[in-house]
Amino acid sequence: MSADDEPEDRDTEREDGDGKRGKRGGDPIPAAVTERRTPEDTALLVDDMLGKLSTYLRMCGYDATYTTDRGVDTDEDVFALAHTEDRLVVTRDTDLARRADRAVLLSAREVDGQLRELRDAGFELSLAEEPVRCSACNGLLEGVDRTEPTPDYAPDPPKHRSEARSAASPGTGTRRGLPSHEHECGRGCCAESN
């Protein structure tokens, strides 16, 4: 989408006044669905205004890198990382979205509204029975036989869950991958965005 397709700019300066990331807010880029976006084909770079959203996107299976987790401080760093790792930038920052090669601009402040906007823009948003990514660190989860002990780096799952479900362990994360409270809450939030 080009800057010509965007509505009139109605930005407000960032509240933190750090000058590093430009302006925030404004109208979303028109989100005509020209292609479906799935977790398998869309890697995301979620900017620091949308940390909670990155958690929900991970629960939906997206490779959703959060700028704060990666130490990305400037717009130029965002552009470089997005280009190098072929990631679509997800942001509420109008200036950042305009200047990025590929970006989705969100206007909602609450995660349920943000999920609704992404769904309207063609994103597939549904939670799998078994998580694919760690919602905290974005690491891929790998299956572990139910009879195997919990790896040293992962916390013990609650007894009732370990008996009821097969276990998984993160390839690079610190969670075992059992549906967490967060995952169960996400199930409701994603359903509400329909």
Please give the pLDDT value at position 158: 53
8 located within any domain: no
Task: Tell me: do 82 and 109 sit in the same domain.
Answer: yes
112 located within any domain: yes
The confidence band for 151, taking pLDDT boundaries of 50, 70 and 90, is: confident
CA distance 49 to 18: 13
5 located within any domain: no
The gap from C-alpha 79 to its chain's centroid, in whole angstroms, comes to 17
Amino acid code (one letter) for 119: R
Instruction: Label residues 118-131 b or e (16+ Cβ within 10 Å = b).
Output: bbebbbbbebeeeb
Please give the pLDDT value at position 129: 76
Task: Tell me: do 108 and 154 sit in the same domain.
Answer: no
Q: Tens digit of pLDDT for each residue in 23-35?
A: 444 444 545 455 7
Task: Tell me: do 186 and 157 sit in the same domain.
Answer: no
Task: Tell me: do 60 and 84 sit in the same domain.
Answer: yes
Higher pLDDT, 148 or 44: 44
Q: Tens digit of pLDDT for each residue in 167-179?
A: 343 444 433 444 4
Task: Tell me: do 103 and 86 sit in the same domain.
Answer: yes
Q: What's the rounded mean pLDDT across residues 134-139?
A: 89
Domain that residue 105 falls in: 34-127+181-194
Task: Tell me: do 112 and 52 sit in the same domain.
Answer: yes
191 located within any domain: yes
The confidence band for 103, taking pLDDT boundaries of 50, 70 and 90, is: very high
The share of the chain scoring above pLDDT 70, in percent, equals 61
pTM (two decimals): 0.65
Task: Tell me: do 100 and 193 sit in the same domain.
Answer: yes
Task: Tell me: do 106 and 145 sit in the same domain.
Answer: no
88 located within any domain: yes
